[in-house]
């Protein structure tokens, strides 16, 4: 099948590469000529394990192309995916300007009837709105059929999720369109649920909102565990053994971040509000998360009184491991707050350190060397559970730091290992560890 993908962000690039890997002829289009130039040189524009090799393989096999010209990229396409951003507006709602522009770009350039598939996360009703825009702008006689095919990949495991995902959702306006999409996706061998357009759009928001709810729930339990002397890791394990609950998304920490959960939960609250429905549960989920991103700083202030002049090593900038994405990372909240309180901040991230100055709105130093970050620090804060941070012996903190006081937002180490290392350790939902000598 000849396919065009509009947008080469995370979703567009992974979609284009994956569709070419299963044998389709794919052209990805982006308005950013710099991105397209890099992609044409075989350089992936996002950090995603396994993506680069797959991209190169399909470029070499002449199944995958990149262009910044809609006319060229859309020429002859039978199916066109829209995978542009839907960022958050100031009021929390989804900004559809890029999807609308992509629709106009398609309508102005196609010369034959096509199926347009919306992969971007869009509020219920958007697919029909987009179809109207295209119908108003296409040449006479050209028919556009529309389908919703939301994306469920996670950053850092996008290839795994695309080839081994739990389900593919296809919402379409008619059965024939749904069948074409099912056929395109058949080589993935993933169960397909075919549904109507509105339900498909809602499945995406409901899934993200539910996962965010699980995280805020366990974070509230963690905060309560701290007050009651329980250990949230034990509690999660004990809860998760019940198959009705499940183990996943019950890791307590410093709250969810990233390009999706914060914006999609806000958009769903807004969408509900527009239809005179107060989504109180989801509002609380968001509120709990906003507070959770600040709990480590609260613990630091409680421990030190003042942070003025303290040298703080922040370990991890990315919102999760295996990505260089800082969108809505708790680091964006924690670092400016530490600076505001007078701390001197040095940050470490193995991949995202280069992104720091672009995203962090406060003076801080950046390094890819963990020892350099820890050297002579008064305390350390763990923001991202990168494997190299988790693998580190807790004794390392005592070796490099002025005072080995660690605030761990990701519960990277067992309490037993920390006790053995004789460091002062504050994590989330677990007992504090304060060795006698330090006390």
Ligand X SMILES: O=c1ccn([C@@H]2O[C@H](COP(=O)(O)OP(=O)(O)O[C@H]3O[C@H](CO)[C@@H](O)[C@H](O)[C@H]3O)[C@@H](O)[C@H]2O)c(=O)[nH]1
Ligand Y SMILES: NC(=O)c1ccc[n+]([C@@H]2O[C@H](COP(=O)([O-])OP(=O)(O)OC[C@H]3O[C@@H](n4cnc5c(N)ncnc54)[C@H](O)[C@@H]3O)[C@@H](O)[C@H]2O)c1
Give CA–CA dist 330/218, Å, rounded. Answer: 17
Instruction: Examine residue 109 and tell whether it contacts ligand Y (CB under 6 A).
Output: no
- Length of the chain in terms of residues written: 439
Residue 217 labelled as part of a binding site: no
The 3-state DSSP composition of the chain as helix, strand, coil percent (nearest 5) reads: 45, 15, 40
What lies within 8 Å, CB to CB, of 427 at 6+ separation is: 407, 408, 409, 411, 413, 415
Q: Is 86 annotated as a binding residue?
A: yes
Query: H or E stretch including 169?
Result: strand 168-172
Tell me: is residue 233 an annotated ligand-binding position.
Answer: no
Contacted by 9, from ligand X, ligand Y, none: CB < 5 to 8 Å by type: ligand Y
Annotated binding residue at 332?
Answer: no
Q: Would the annotation count 320 as a binding residue?
A: yes
| Closest to ligand X by CB, 166 or 436 | 166
> Which member of 102, 379, 405, 423 binds ligand Y (CB under 6 A)?
102
How far apart CA 334 and CA 253 sit, in angstroms, is 13
Helices (H), 41-186: 51-60, 70-74, 97-109, 126-137, 158-164, 175-185
Please tell me whether 246 is known to bind a ligand. Answer: no
Which of 7-15, 329-337, 361-369, 415-423 is the region at the interface with ligand Y (rule: CB under 6 A)?
7-15
Nearer to ligand Y among residue 7 and residue 171 (C-beta):
7
CA distance 289 to 293: 6
Q: Is 225 a catalytic residue?
A: no
| Cβ at position 76, least distance to ligand X in Å | 30
Q: Among positive and negative, which fits the CA dihedral 223, 386, 88, 100?
A: negative
Q: Is 30 annotated as a binding residue?
A: yes
Which of ligand Y, ligand X, none sits in contact with 65, Cβ below 5 to 8 A by type?
none
User: Between residues 336 and 435, which has the closer beta carbon with respect to ligand X?
Assistant: 336
Give the one residue of 3, 10, 36, 235 binding ligand Y; rule: CB under 6 A: 10
Closer to ligand X at the Cβ: 205 or 348? 205
CB of 410 to ligand Y, least distance (A): 20
Which of positions 110-139 make contact with ligand Y (CB under 6 A)?
120-121
Burial group, residue 123, by CB count within 10 angstroms (0-12, 13-18, 19+): buried
- Round to whole Å and give the CA distance between 78 and 434: 64
From 35, 131, 299, 320, residue interacting with ligand Y (rule: CB under 6 A): 35
Using CB under 6 A as the criterion, which residues of the chain lie in contact with ligand X when the complex forms? 121, 151-155, 208, 211, 215, 249-251, 253, 256-258, 260-261, 264, 319-320
- Residue 204 beta carbon to ligand X: minimum distance, rounded to whole angstroms: 7
Q: Which residue is nearest to ligand Y (CB)?
A: 9
φ, ψ for residue 23, nearest 5 deg: 110, -5
381 forms bridges with which residues in the sheet?
A: 314, 407
Residue 153, SS3 per DSSP: coil
Q: State how far the Cα of 335 lies from the Cα of 344, in Å rounded to an integer.
A: 10
* Least distance in angstroms from the C-beta of 56 to ligand X: 24
Tell which residue, 333, 170, 201, 317, has the closest CA to residue 262.
Answer: 333
Q: What is the rounded distance in angstroms from the CA atom of residue 46 to the CA atom of residue 259?
A: 14
The residue with its CB nearest to ligand X is 260
Query: 28, 225, 260, 379: which is the annotated catalytic residue?
Result: 260
Residue ranges in 254-354 assigned as alpha helix (H): 261-274, 280-292, 295-304, 331-340
Say if residues 317 and 347 touch (Cβ distance below 8 Å): yes
Select the binding partner of residue 123 from ligand X, ligand Y, none (C-beta < 5 to 8 A, by kind): none
CB nearer to ligand X: pick between 138 and 208: 208
Catalytic positions are 260
Residues making up the annotated binding site for NAD(+) are 30, 35, 86, 121, 155, 263, 327
Residues making up the annotated binding site for substrate are 152-155, 204, 249-253, 257, 320
Residues making up the annotated binding site are 30, 35, 86, 121, 152-155, 204, 249-253, 257, 263, 320, 327
Q: Which residues bind ligand Y (CB under 6 A)?
A: 6-12, 29-32, 35, 83-86, 98, 101-102, 105, 120-121, 151, 153, 155, 259-260
């Amino acid at each position: 099948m000849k396919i065009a993908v509009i947008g080469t962000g995370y979703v567009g690039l992974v979609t284009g590469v994956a569709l070419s890997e299963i044998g389709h002829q794919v052209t990805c289009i982006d308005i950013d000529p710099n991105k397209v130039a890099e992609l044409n040189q075989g350089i992936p524009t996002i950090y995603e394990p396994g993506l680069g090799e797959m991209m190169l393989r399909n470029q070499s096999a002449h199944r995958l192309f990149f262009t910044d010209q809609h006319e060229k990229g859309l020429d002859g396409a039978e199916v066109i995916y829209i995978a542009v951003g839907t960022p958050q507006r100031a009021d929390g709602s989804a900004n559809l300007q890029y999807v609308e522009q992509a629709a106009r770009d398609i309508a102005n350039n196609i010369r034959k009837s096509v199926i347009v598939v919306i992969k971007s996360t869009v509020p219920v009703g958007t697919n029909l709105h987009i179809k109207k825009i295209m119908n108003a702008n296409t040449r006479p006689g050209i028919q556009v059929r529309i389908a919703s095919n939301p994306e469920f990949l996670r950053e850092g495991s996008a290839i795994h999720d695309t080839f081994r995902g739990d389900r593919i959702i296809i919402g379409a306006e008619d059965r024939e369109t749904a069948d074409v999409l099912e056929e395109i996706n058949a080589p993935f061998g993933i169960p397909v649920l075919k549904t109507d357009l509105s339900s498909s759009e809602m499945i995406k928001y409901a899934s993200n909102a539910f996962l965010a709810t699980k995280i805020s729930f366990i974070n509230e339990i963690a905060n309560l565990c701290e007050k009651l002397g329980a250990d949230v890791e034990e509690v999660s394990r004990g809860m998760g053994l019940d198959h009705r609950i499940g183990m996943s998304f019950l890791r307590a920490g410093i709250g969810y971040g990233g390009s999706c959960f914060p914006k999609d939960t806000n958009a769903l609250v807004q969408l509900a509000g527009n239809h005179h429905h107060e989504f109180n549960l989801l509002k609380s989920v968001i509120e709990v998360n906003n507070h959770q991103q600040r709990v480590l700083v609260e613990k630091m202030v409680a421990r030190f009184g003042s942070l003025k002049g303290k040298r703080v090593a922040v370990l991890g900038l990315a919102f999760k491991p295996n990505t260089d994405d800082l969108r809505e990372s708790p680091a964006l909240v924690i670092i400016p707050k530490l600076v505001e309180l007078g701390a001197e901040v040095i940050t470490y991230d193995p991949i995202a350190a280069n992104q720091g100055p672009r995203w962090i709105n406060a003076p801080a130093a950046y390094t890819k060397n963990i020892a350099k970050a820890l050297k002579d620090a008064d305390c350390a804060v763990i923001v991202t559970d990168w494997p190299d941070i988790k693998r580190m012996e807790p004794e390392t903190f005592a070796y490099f730091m002025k005072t080995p006081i660690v605030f761990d937002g990701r519960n990277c180490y067992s309490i037993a290992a920390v006790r053995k290392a004789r460091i002062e350790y504050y994590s989330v939902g677990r007992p504090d560890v304060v060795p006698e000598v330090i006390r």
